[in-house]
Structure 1
Amino acid sequence: MKKALIITYYWPPAGGSGVQRWLKFVKYFREFGVEPVIYTVKDPNYPIEDESLLKEIPEDLEILKQSIWEPNRIFNLFKKKKTESAGFLNPTPSISGKILRYIRANYFIPDARKFWVQPSVKYLKKYLKKNKIDVVITTGPPHSMHLIGLNLKNQFGVNWIADFRDPWTEIDYFHQLPLTKRASEKHHLLEKEVLNNANAVIVVGNTMKEKYYKFNKNTYVITNGFDGEVTNFNIDLDSKFTLTHIGLMNADRNPKMLWEVLAEIMNENHTFANDFELKLIGKVDNSVIKEISNFNLTKNVSIINYISHNEVIKFQKKSQVLLLIVNNVPSANQIITGKIFEYLMAKRPILAIAPTNGDLAEIIHKTNSGYTVDFNERDQLKKTIVDLYSKFKDDKLIVNSKNIEQYHRKELTKKVSEIINSITE
């Protein structure tokens, strides 16, 4: 059995999407001849926690932990909000907020977890001398994790896989950072160094693969996925025409066109206004809440800040339509939000506002699981919602999706194990 040391910042009780990918791989690794060992942080500063995920950790799993010093703890003393995740950069920061963001962007490269790199390398050097490890796997963001792998590769010549859940210099908020030219160049340099030195690189979509392939020919696509039974039998759907969005909705993900279209439909069709409910489950930026209020949609909106992952699945299966919003940013065509795969498991129609020529649209098209409307296709968005509502009224709102099982976490883990075998033989 191959032994894999997985270096990850996010691990239960961390909540949110970042923890799911490797928690699920670890769950199935042993079935494919891989024994995982986890190296993660002790007493981390997670913005979201989900204690229920602790139950999914396999028995007898070896977990190594080291303390981390996080400057975010100091930054938070100067802010009214406890935490500000990267996906929730304040679009109108105060003067002190701008200063703190400038410091974070230019002095903590690649991110605020950089101070964990050298202590981790020192700790893991001792571990590797005493324990046989076939492959080291780092997963980011935070991309500081890859620098740990890079150091271990350079010092020990270990087999190393760098897993990118999101791109580095093309992540959706990178363009918002107040980077100096020197800082930007350092980001790109470190990114290339990681790509050039890893034995293999794993990414979540085809567009990322095309960009990274020129640096590393051993670049593979392993998407995110779902873990559970694909069924829509014996599910009591919402009695209202619900449009449900799961996950973060930040300023970049604020679909102003959608709010405008919904308000227009409600004004034109009072029956729709009585039947319609928008459910936003997850953290919602104040700019989104304000925009919803401006279009007089508040009475039709339910906002649930955070619930456990198990509860999320129940909401997805009950919803009439599942809403998926891609950030309207330069890298939008390569964004594949992790929730798309659990939406597929729910077997409910998906309405995505995203580039129609992007990786996400391709998945929706190939699985016949819903509809993709581009950022500026206002008339098409209105027509799609009206058509979905008409099917709802006729009790014909169903989806005949296909080729979904390829995204089950077990199938994806099998592919990861094949990559491990290919570089350790």
Structure 2
Amino acid sequence: MKKKPNVLMFAPSFAPNFFSEALVNSKLALAMLDEGWEVTVFSASAVSDFGYTDTWESPWQPLRPIVRQIPAAGNHGSLKKIGRAAWAIATGRHPVPGAIWAAKVARAALEIHAVRPFDLMLTRSTSCIAHLPGLIVKRAAGVPWIANWNDPPPHLFPAPYNYPISPLRRFFTERYLSEAAAVADLNTFPSERLMRYLAEPLLISDPKRMHVVPHIGLGFRGHAPTGKKDRFRISHAGNLSVERNPRGFLRALAEVANRHTEIRFELELIGKIDDGIKAEVEKLQLSKVVTFLPNLSFQACFQQMEESDALLLIEASVENGIFFPSKIVDYCEVGRPILFISPEQGVSREMNDRFKLGYFCNVDEPTSIVVGLEKLVLDWKADRISYSGLEDMRTIVSPSEIVGQIGRLARSLGVH
């Protein structure tokens, strides 16, 4: 591209309302700005139950002038709501939740496009409603379009996740999603497994229209470990849930701590934690070991993780580990070994096998978790801890590399 592109991004999850998907989208926009790209972002209000924080702070301030946050719905009377819904469905042609937001942001984007044409359009799930304004703008203006699918639509999450929808809503949702995937010039996914998993329900048959683009890093470099052996601290960043349940790890921690009383163990759980997990901590007599830190900013979270000796990843017990947890990228940038508690077959296992990022435990086998944690602790104590591939992983997810990948995809669509 001879000139830097003018990019339109629809990203319902975005700064300053942060949880994992919002962080990924915000890091990408920040990286594009750093490369000299022009970026305009349309976002929605965050769901507070899942957000980590909702304030503008470092390093996100450069994003503030480029984002237009438009709430999904206003406080109008019932007749006005019905009128808006009818207008939105007529505009987007799909009666799905979020249609009003999609129609509003698409109209606003087309007004900007008429004055300052966009060269490229990116639609970024989660939520999948991000792709509906993309459809509207594509039909109206033909802007080259790359649709990104960070996760499956909720109703397609594998067990034990369970987000059921009615047959009628499923029909309209899947009709919408398959049209979005078909009309988009390209579809991107953070992992090969997720791409294969979604190809069939999205009705994508042409492999040339599907590409893997990993989650992006921030380019952060954590300081080296202190080398002190007076305590062993492991931290988990991000919300935990019924599906991503830490009980197996907590029980393993209690067992390993009882075996190695010469070591002072500390576990930090950063993010929103279910009351049932707190009860389990009490039951296992880990109250003096576990610290809950529910509302840290992104920067404070990184600083907290830098004080750890290892970082913890807990995934759901799914048969096919299609998810690429974006915290893997953050953990690699902090520069600490990762203790994976993950599916035997999945993205995390493949990444650790390839890059040697830390220690793998099978989420379905309690003994595996005990063995993995104890090996990590003993290796830490003996200064032989293993995480040799962090730098290779950092290179692959670096801001310049990911923006370069998107730039190459854009050039393939004639964006110059």
TM-score by length of 2: 0.83
Letter in 2 for 1:35: E
The alpha-carbon distance between structure 1 residues 109 and 321, as it changes in their structure 2 partners (threshold 3 A), is farther
Work out whether 1:4 is the aligned partner of 2:7: yes
For residue 391 of structure 1, what is the aligned residue in structure 2? Answer: 379
In the TM superposition, 1:166-177 aligns within 5 A as: 166-168=151-153, 169-171=155-157, 175-177=161-163
For residue 246 of structure 2, what is the aligned residue in structure 1? Answer: 255
* 1:324 match: secondary structure: strand
The alpha-carbon distance between structure 1 residues 54 and 269, as it changes in their structure 2 partners (threshold 3 A), is closer
Work out whether 1:240 is the aligned partner of 2:240: no
The alpha-carbon distance between structure 1 residues 281 and 155, as it changes in their structure 2 partners (threshold 3 A), is same
Number of aligned residues: 384
Deviation at 1:207, TM superposition (A): 0.8
Correspondent of 1:297 among 286, 294, 303: 286
Q: What is the aligned-residue identity percentage?
A: 20
For residue 204 of structure 1, what is the aligned residue in structure 2? Answer: 190
For residue 328 of structure 1, what is the aligned residue in structure 2? Answer: 317
Q: Is the 8 A contact 2:357 2:386 kept in 1?
A: no
Letter in 2 for 1:58: P
Work out whether 1:374 is the aligned partner of 2:349: no
CA distance in 1, matches of 2:283, 2:95: 39
The alpha-carbon distance between structure 1 residues 245 and 67, as it changes in their structure 2 partners (threshold 3 A), is closer
Q: Is the 8 A contact 2:146 2:186 kept in 1?
A: yes
CA distance in 1, matches of 2:369, 2:199: 35
Letter in 2 for 1:420: A
* 2:321 match: secondary structure: helix
Correspondent of 2:405 among 402, 408, 415: 415
Correspondent of 1:122 among 107, 116, 129: 107
Work out whether 1:147 is the aligned partner of 2:132: yes
Deviation at 1:328, TM superposition (A): 2.4
CA distance in 2, matches of 1:59, 1:52: 9
Measured against aligned partners, the alpha-carbon deviations of 1:176-208 in whole angstroms (never above 9, x if no partner) come to: 224222222333222212111110111111112
Work out whether 1:133 is the aligned partner of 2:118: yes
Q: Which moved more, 1:339-348 or 1:53-62?
A: 53-62
In the TM superposition, 1:306-317 aligns within 5 A as: 306-317=295-306
* 2:317 match: secondary structure: coil
CA distance in 1, matches of 2:298, 2:249: 26
Work out whether 1:351 is the aligned partner of 2:339: yes
* 1:372 match: secondary structure: strand
Correspondent of 1:68 among 57, 68, 72: 72
For residue 211 of structure 2, what is the aligned residue in structure 1? Answer: 220
Deviation at 1:323, TM superposition (A): 0.5
* 1:279 match: secondary structure: strand
Cα RMSD over matched residues? 2.8
Q: Is the 8 A contact 2:197 2:322 kept in 1?
A: no
Deviation at 1:380, TM superposition (A): 2.2
What are structure 1's unaligned runs of at least 5 residues? 72-107
Letter in 2 for 1:373: C
Work out whether 1:284 is the aligned partner of 2:277: no
Deviation at 1:61, TM superposition (A): 5.2
What are structure 2's unaligned runs of at least 5 residues? 76-93
The alpha-carbon distance between structure 1 residues 346 and 45, as it changes in their structure 2 partners (threshold 3 A), is closer
Measured against aligned partners, the alpha-carbon deviations of 1:1-45 in whole angstroms (never above 9, x if no partner) come to: 32111111223221222222232222232565632222234x665
Q: Is the 8 A contact 1:32 1:417 kept in 2?
A: no
The alpha-carbon distance between structure 1 residues 304 and 117, as it changes in their structure 2 partners (threshold 3 A), is same
Letter in 1 for 2:345: N
Letter in 1 for 2:256: I
Deviation at 1:116, TM superposition (A): 0.6
Measured against aligned partners, the alpha-carbon deviations of 1:93-143 in whole angstroms (never above 9, x if no partner) come to: xxxxxxxxxxxxxxx9755x3331222233333333333112221111111
Q: Which moved more, 1:297-306 or 1:45-54?
A: 45-54
For residue 91 of structure 1, what is the aligned residue in structure 2? Answer: none
